[in-house]
Structure 1
């Protein structure tokens, strides 16, 4: 393939634009905030599980506490009724003895229930404190996540602005090139990463490998309009006064 040396030289501008765009895309994919955000979101999920576990425990204890409170109220009501009957007098001795026995049994039952209730209330206090710590931790992590998201979005905005400036420049350069030369450039770039590279002091600037003596001889013999490629990376070699030929 032959192409005007001036068009071949423009390939370096096109390659520079593509390199800049590739660097911007790489930077967008590898922002430090992305890894930090992924780690913090994992922390947020873990602390959220802690909150859910603590909420479940608090709810279970509250349910147990209400049950015990209801049991205590039931025993107290029953004991009050029995005491009222006892105080009213006129009961047969056998019934009086049975009533006194039941009142004593209810008192023991009430005491046991109140001990259980006290234990549950202590557990409720501990569970509430655990929930408070987990909730506070979750809020802190969520705040860090939000901050990282703001920083990520700000970096994305800067990168996208830079890409938005580069893409029209790249399009303008590409549109001015002969279609067959552009097609070869795109093919070379797809296969090796560099579509075109300057030949500087007998070294390909794409793969950074110095050309052999036979390759240099072939390039010396090639016409200025001949489109030549690096034997190693297959980039189009653009010859200039710095090529060392």
Structure 2
């Protein structure tokens, strides 16, 4: 392929723009905020599981306390009925039976109230644990939101730079021979770098130094020959800096 030395030299400008665009694309995909957001998301997921377990513990205790309250209320109602019957008087045998039953109900009520008190203390602890894990969730969500804000801010800056670089690339590529740009783009898409400066006997793409026949081939090539590296196949652009 043939192309003027000027056109080949301008390939380096095009490559500089494409390299900048590639770096911006890599930066977009590797922002530290992305890893932070992923880590916090996993933390929130684990905390949500912990919160669910804490909520189940609270719900179970509330259900048990409610059951004890119903049992205690039933004992109180029965005590009230027995006391009313006792106050109304009656046969000695019946009175003794009511007194015995009231004593039994008093013990039962005391046992139920002690058990309920213990459950209420457990629920207080469970409520505190639930509130604590919810606080940790809120803090993690706050960190995630802040990381997302910084990510979006960085995305905005990257997008502006990409738009600026892309707007410069179009006219630059349009001024070059179409076949040269097509070859350059094919190489670049395959390897990430389409053209590089040949300098001090070394390919700027793969950094391999040329000797003997390979170097003689480059030196002997006409100025408008498009020379490619035998190793990496990239276009080697020769300029005054090449030292040929």
User: Is 1:68 the counterpart of 2:76 in the alignment?
Assistant: no
Which residue is equivalent to 2:192? Answer: 193
Which residue is equivalent to 1:213? Answer: 212
d(CA) in 2 for partners of 1:80, 1:100: 12
SS in 2 for 1:237: strand
TM-score, normalised relative to structure 2? 0.96
d(CA) in 2 for partners of 1:110, 1:214: 106
Which residue is equivalent to 1:148? Answer: 147
Which residue is equivalent to 1:177? Answer: 176
d(CA) in 2 for partners of 1:129, 1:92: 55
SS in 2 for 1:185: helix
Which residue is equivalent to 2:239? Answer: 240
SS in 1 for 2:197: strand
Aligned residues between the structures: 244
Which residue is equivalent to 2:14? Answer: 14
d(CA) in 2 for partners of 1:191, 1:232: 14
Q: What is the CA RMSD across the aligned residues, in angstroms?
A: 1.2
Tell me which moved more, 122-131 or 42-51. Answer: 42-51
d(CA) in 2 for partners of 1:126, 1:233: 68
1:74-153, aligned counterparts within 5 Å? 74-89=74-89, 91-153=90-152
d(CA) in 1 for partners of 2:232, 2:169: 22
Q: Where does structure 1 lack aligned partners over 5 or more consecutive residues? A: none
TM-score, normalised relative to structure 1? 0.95
Deviation (angstroms), 1:239: 0.7
Which residue is equivalent to 1:168? Answer: 167
SS in 1 for 2:231: coil
d(CA) in 2 for partners of 1:212, 1:97: 121
SS in 1 for 2:171: helix
Deviation (angstroms), 1:96: 2.5
SS in 2 for 1:229: coil
Deviation (angstroms), 1:148: 0.9
Deviation (angstroms), 1:121: 0.5
Q: Where does structure 2 lack aligned partners over 5 or more consecutive residues? A: none
Which residue is equivalent to 2:44? Answer: 44
Deviation (angstroms), 1:94: 3.1
Retained in 2: the 8 A contact 1:192–1:234? no
